[in-house]
Structure 1
Amino acid sequence: MARIFITGSVDGLGRAAAEALIAEGYDVVVHARTEERAEAFGSLRSHALGVVTGDLSRAGDTHYVADQVNALGRMDAVIHNAGVYLEPERGSTADGHARTFAINTLAPYLLSVLIQRPERLVYLSSGLHRSGTDVLDDLDWDTRRWDAGQAYADSKLHVTALAAAFARRWGVLTASVDPGWVPTRMGGPSATGDLEQGHVTQAWFATSSEIPRDVSGGYWHHKRQQRPHPSALDTGFQDRLIEALAGITGERPAGS
């Protein structure tokens, strides 16, 4: 039975995916930011294959998460679910800028590079990625005027491009998934998307035997492949993004 690691799985879509996959009999490794936060797993903890902890806004913790996953053995799939959206009043400091970039872009990149390579990689994107910019200067918004919405859109363009890049470079089955604007803790109570459908596509892509290899690297919404931002499919942009992230982290994808 497939072994699946899901980041950010204490609540929201990550938890919904974990619960659904465990109910179907899959071995699931869940992730929480801290040991204290992991207490919120409750009874889910006893049904999971393992629990790993680490704050994905910190590079050292992200390395530690990868070490914990690798110690459990090779995963068949990884769902990069963790993400943040910082409103301007909460994200107007340098720490806020760095947190958005670190969790939404750097962590999926680092974990993809550091975790023993699975057969499938799934990245949580957003329809807002279509408003992302392909400018790779000042990725952590250190000098630019802070714009929470733009930073979020840019980060989702990044992971959409990473899904396509790793499909091309590694030959693994990858997807970027738009779950819709759903009423999770991050999405907020005003969200109009279908919460029941929000986790389905990523869980399906991580496990289904019906997905053909020729769709690898695609962008999906509710099990339907859609056309992403043009830059996500631009191999030049993909390669420049990976070079930029490798330069920041000091970690380069194997085979590159």
Structure 2
Amino acid sequence: MIGLLLFLMLNASMTAALSSVSARTILISGATDGIGRHTAKKLAADGNNHLLVHGRKPDVGKDLCKELLDRGASSATYFNADLNDLEEVERLAEEVTGHCNANNKGSLDVLINNAGIFEPPQPAKSAQGFDQTFAVNVLAPFLLTRRLLPLVAASTDPNPRIITTSSISQSWSLPSMDELLDINNEPKSAHRAYSDSKLGDYLFTVRLAKILDAHTDERLSRIKCLTMDPGTVNTKMLLAGWGACGIPVSRADNTYKLATEYGTKQESGSYHFGGGGGKCDDIEEFWSRLEECTGCTYDDINKDL
């Protein structure tokens, strides 16, 4: 009897210790619908995670947070922002930073740049006059990641990560630099604009990984930057652009895999799950253009740590 009690006490102690170690703070953009919502629900079910979820519909976000808590999340906080406006992205970053400083010891363990759009045939412009698809899918995560890098660098998790959703369609995109960034404001088909933007997400991840890997500050060099094809999934986006040709959202686990154990074993800068990495004539010029468009640079990361 005494042996059984000792075993139960030891088991409870080990479980509590493991639970404490595994607790992570995770931000998911575009989390109120589709793959982002599915990923948030799976991370909540893991238990003990602090989930920060972003969207554009406060009522939906409030309901999502309640569901995440019911599923086992330690906490769930909603942030509202329109990523079509870079000023909104800046505000989102400030609010997330303030929240993490007040509640999560000033750190963020996993950043998941999941939000993305597929626009109808009529080209639309962002608040700053960029192609809307490129602004939301590429410029927003570029700026948001830069602003939140100090939080990720402060993570005490052994495997802090930045995950950016790309697509298998990026491997089919071979634009010139001007076409990629829509410098000439020439109309693109919705499919072409989406593919180009997903190539941008892949290139962003590759270049960011090289910058961080080469950094002398170990807080930055240990951060993994990963990207992937989320799968052909019957989200609202897929249904609008391609029709019902994929798997149910309930089976779309690729993002979740990179955010959990599978992702810890992968090389920074790597692309996963569908097709190969795309190509660009000059990735450094592409990076410079992103800095120009967003007004932010990654050259001064140290000053914010």
**Structures share fold, TM-score greater than 0.5:** yes
Deviation at 1:102, TM superposition (A): 1.1
* Structure 2 match to 1:3: 25
In 1, Cα distance between equivalents of 2:188 and 2:232: 23
* Structure 2 match to 1:62: 89
Contact 1:7 1:79 in 2 (8 A): yes
In 1, Cα distance between equivalents of 2:178 and 2:190: 17
Deviation at 1:61, TM superposition (A): 0.5
* Structure 2 match to 1:129: 170
Pair 37,43 (structure 1): closer, same or farther in 2 beyond 3 Å: closer
Pair 168,145 (structure 1): closer, same or farther in 2 beyond 3 Å: same
Q: Aligned Cα RMSD in Å? A: 2.4
Deviation at 1:140, TM superposition (A): 4.0
* Structure 1 match to 2:276: 227
In 2, Cα distance between equivalents of 1:152 and 1:97: 14
1:216 is aligned with what amino acid? S
Which residue, 216, 236, 251 being the options, matches 1:197?
A: 251
**Could you tell me the percent identity over the aligned residues?**
25
Q: How does 1:5-154 map to 2 (within 5 A)?
A: 5-25=27-47, 26-41=49-64, 43-44=66-67, 46=69, 47=73, 48-73=75-100, 74-88=107-121, 91-94=122-125, 98-117=131-150, 118=152, 119-137=160-178, 139-140=181-182, 143-154=185-196
1:163 aligns with 2:205: yes
1:247 is aligned with what amino acid? E
Secondary structure of residue in 2 paired with 1:137: helix
Contact 1:2 1:27 in 2 (8 A): yes
Question: Which has more helix, going by share of residues?
Answer: 2
Aligned residues: 245
Structure 1: runs of 5 or more not aligned: none
* Structure 2 match to 1:176: 227
Deviation at 1:40, TM superposition (A): 4.9
Alpha-carbon displacement from aligned partner over 1:14-42 (angstroms, at most 9, x marks no partner): 00000100110221100112435534526
Secondary structure of residue in 2 paired with 1:174: strand
Structure 2: runs of 5 or more not aligned: 1-22, 101-106, 153-159, 214-222
Alpha-carbon displacement from aligned partner over 1:56-101 (angstroms, at most 9, x marks no partner): 000111111111111122210111110011121xx33445973211
Pair 116,228 (structure 1): closer, same or farther in 2 beyond 3 Å: closer
Contact 1:94 1:142 in 2 (8 A): no
> What TM-score results when the alignment is normalised by the length of structure 1?
0.86
Deviation at 1:151, TM superposition (A): 0.8
1:186 is aligned with what amino acid? M
In 2, Cα distance between equivalents of 1:194 and 1:66: 32
> What TM-score results when the alignment is normalised by the length of structure 2?
0.73
